[in-house]
Structure 1
Amino acid sequence: MSPRHDDDAPALTAAVSGGEVVLRPWAEGDDLRLLEVWGDPADVQQHQDRAMLAADADSPWRRTLVAEEDGVPVGAAVAFAQPLHPGRLWVYGEVARTVRGRGVGRALLEALRGLVAAAHEAGAVPTTELKARFAVASRVPVGGGEVVEAAPQAGAAGAPEAGAAGAEAHAAQVAATERFLVAAGFTPVQRSRRIAVAPGVIALPALRDEEHPEGRVLEEISTGSVELTRAVAAFYDAAHAWDPSQMSVGAAQQLILGPQTGAAGAVVLRDAPREDGGTIQAFAVSYTAERQDAPADVLLGWDPSLGFEEAQLAVGDLLALLVAQHPVQVEADEAMTALEPVLDALLAKRAAGTLVDTRVWATDPS
């Protein structure tokens, strides 16, 4: 099979166990056709990743293939370039339960790899390396986005069906995903968790006043602030050394802080007032416009030039202030070395709970 892609490209055929499938580009209405055969997503990560499946594009580069059997779509897969992370392309694929184990997913991935290789040779993408992600547990209602518990029980795994049978089915699907990725040359490179922290579970730091002249300075700041934008860009690049990024000030505004991102407000923690030369040691950007019972969605970061202990203290103090009265949810990758120990300690005390536990695998281990 030699994949090619242009406006007049014919459909490809691939041999699979028990017959063959036709591989063709994504077409309008495929999302609904595939939903009929796939059913609802198994977890919130799959719900998000299905949104990757879309029509082909050249800027940023994306190719999506649909697998048909007897004229019925049974699977799809996409590869797309992310200019912010030029070292790897995202890939996502899914096939119907009724055809799993027959090689449909492998055929889709092999065809996509051919398209990526051709695009790389033509200079359209900077690499042929791939990355994929999947959830090993999820407690966020699929399609809802609202978290029902401020601090769910630590370690509990989500499943599309209720009870032990659902958990067992979910674990089997995770194991199958891992086997597929191993066979395709992927290895694990990162763990990412979304963690809800209950209110009032961290001792509050002293804020600067007459009684505490050396206390922390907490300040509201505009999401359009150049100072904040630079702090966010520096933190993002430092936290993604495992998947190198090229975050400019403009990109930080467009992708993290601009109105189109849903950023609703921000606070920073300083070691001294700004007029006295105080710099941003930690920041929090909220993506929840109004107070609600569910944990507010917050991006929590810190100055990467700080030493480990300084950074851990700063991010812990800011988190304590954020959850003084209301719960929040934050994302923590393994690479966020100052934040992870703070959250792990709260998880151990059941003062926090893991909402989504995701793994990232890639074709290159670096």
Structure 2
Amino acid sequence: MDNYTFRPWREGDDLELLQLWGDAESSGYDSFRAMFRPDQDSGPWSRTLVAEHQGVAVAAATVYETSLHVQRLWAYIEVAVDHRRQGLGAELFRRLQELASSSPSGVQVLRSKVQEGSAGASFAQAMGLGVIQRSQMVKVASGSVPEVPLRVDSSGQPMQVIENIATGSVELTQKMWEFYSRSHRWDPPAEISLGQVNRLFLSDEAEALGAIVLRDFDSSDDFSGKPPIKAFVVSYRPLEQELPGRQLADDEATEILLGYDFDDVGAREAIMQLLYVLVHQYPVILEVDESMEDLQVMINQLVKMGSAQVLDTTLVVAH
């Protein structure tokens, strides 16, 4: 490492490095790049290193805490293509481990995200990081989901209903947190308030655009006299929609989060009922973790039918 010098991140490094790196390989890497910043001791704690070669920044690495998942620290390393396979990434990883030993929480275990089959995945394996979760971004084509009718009773009265719901709803926020907590048992989230849950997943800040729920009259009434939510969908605003007068093209997909009750024996039916309504006119994109067993089973069937397409696969890796 005699050819490299290491220093903390400083303002302006992003512009210099982006000229060398070019576009990120995935949107997930863009999110990590946003965490390159001057060192912070709170809100949350983070450390970022820059590697220079002959006075030019060629790589950066960051380690930081989050308030939602507190059992591990996030870490990310990016090295310019011309400087890979020379031990620079391994040296940055070693230095991140040293920095992690000073985290205020006392947590020192690192985690990261990599694209399956990528150079990053090979590097993570070489550093001793194993896969703890696999996640896929999937596009479901418009008009591709077979109809699963809402159930009615013997007299033809509806036993299920799909309705719009405010993203500020306490009921929806509770269901969101139940789903998130169950789908992240492999990396348990910290206990946070419903207000924080809403801000993270359902607020304008989170770019939540709207929500629909499936209610089931067969289930016991447990919230303010309404049939309980069986499953829900939250849609998120694509960046392009920020433009005045912007409307979705016929083949442009809206990003959604589809949640359901993990203990409901009818979860798969509810998933398909909501998907049918959602893709009747426009395609959607959703993230499916291996931990979301019922959703994964139904999406896999749509992929086999040619109705859905896996856009990419992300691995969460950790010690």
Same fold (TM over 0.5): yes
d(CA) in 2 for partners of 1:40, 1:79? 21
d(CA) in 1 for partners of 2:291, 2:159? 29
Number of residue pairs the alignment of both structures matches: 303
Q: 1:186-219: CA deviations, max 9, x gaps?
A: 1011111111111222222333679742442101
d(CA) in 1 for partners of 2:196, 2:313? 27
1:313 and 2:269 are equivalent in the alignment: yes
1:248 and 2:193 are equivalent in the alignment: yes
Q: Which residue number in structure 2 is paired with residue 26 of structure 1? A: 9
Distance 1:259 1:42, change over 3 A: closer
d(CA) in 1 for partners of 2:162, 2:286? 19
d(CA) in 1 for partners of 2:201, 2:227? 24
Q: Which residue number in structure 1 is paired with residue 54 of structure 2? A: 70
d(CA) in 1 for partners of 2:308, 2:13? 39
Displacement of 1:291 in angstroms is: 5.1
Which one-letter code corresponds to 2:9 in the other structure?
A: W
Moved over 3 A (4+): 207-212, 273-277
Q: 1:69-91: CA deviations, max 9, x gaps?
A: 11111100001111110111111
Q: 1:104-134: CA deviations, max 9, x gaps?
A: 1111111111111122xxxx12411111111
Note if contact 2:38-2:47 (Cα within 8 Å) is conserved in structure 1: yes
Which one-letter code corresponds to 1:54 in the other structure?
A: R
Identity of aligned residues (%): 38
Q: 1:123-147: CA deviations, max 9, x gaps?
A: x1241111111123xxxxxxxxxxx
User: Quick one: which of 255, 264, 283 aligns to 2:232?
Assistant: 283
1:201 and 2:144 are equivalent in the alignment: yes
Note if contact 1:61-1:125 (Cα within 8 Å) is conserved in structure 2: no
User: Quick one: which of 168, 180, 191 aligns to 2:123?
Assistant: 180
Note if contact 1:302-1:311 (Cα within 8 Å) is conserved in structure 2: yes
Q: Which residue number in structure 1 is paired with residue 207 of structure 2? A: 262
Q: Which residue number in structure 2 is paired with residue 88 of structure 1? A: 72
Displacement of 1:354 in angstroms is: 1.5
Which one-letter code corresponds to 1:196 in the other structure?
A: K
SS of the equivalent of 1:56 reads coil
Q: Calculate the TM-score normalised by the size of structure 2.
A: 0.89
d(CA) in 2 for partners of 1:213, 1:343? 30
d(CA) in 2 for partners of 1:47, 1:25? 20
Q: Calculate the TM-score normalised by the size of structure 1.
A: 0.78
Write out aligned runs for 1:1-366 (5 A).
Answer: 16=1, 19-58=2-41, 59-119=43-103, 124-136=104-116, 174=118, 176-207=119-150, 212-246=156-190, 247-272=192-217, 277-288=226-237, 292-293=248-249, 294-306=252-264, 309-363=265-319
d(CA) in 2 for partners of 1:214, 1:126? 54
Q: Which runs of 5+ in 1 are unaligned?
A: 1-15, 137-170
Note if contact 1:86-1:126 (Cα within 8 Å) is conserved in structure 2: no
d(CA) in 1 for partners of 2:306, 2:127? 38
Q: 1:250-277: CA deviations, max 9, x gaps?
A: 2211100111111111100011297764
Q: Which moved further from structure 2: 238-247 or 207-216? A: 207-216
Q: Which runs of 5+ in 2 are unaligned?
A: none
d(CA) in 1 for partners of 2:207, 2:300? 28
d(CA) in 2 for partners of 1:208, 1:183? 52
d(CA) in 1 for partners of 2:202, 2:27? 24
d(CA) in 2 for partners of 1:261, 1:114? 33
SS of the equivalent of 1:101 reads coil
Displacement of 1:237 in angstroms is: 0.5
Q: 1:285-305: CA deviations, max 9, x gaps?
A: 111367512111111101234
Note if contact 2:147-2:273 (Cα within 8 Å) is conserved in structure 1: yes
Distance 1:239 1:299, change over 3 A: same
d(CA) in 2 for partners of 1:51, 1:212? 54
Which one-letter code corresponds to 1:46 in the other structure?
A: Y
SS of the equivalent of 2:74 reads strand
Displacement of 1:248 in angstroms is: 3.3
Note if contact 1:87-1:127 (Cα within 8 Å) is conserved in structure 2: yes
Displacement of 1:63 in angstroms is: 0.7
d(CA) in 2 for partners of 1:240, 1:179? 25
SS of the equivalent of 1:79 reads strand
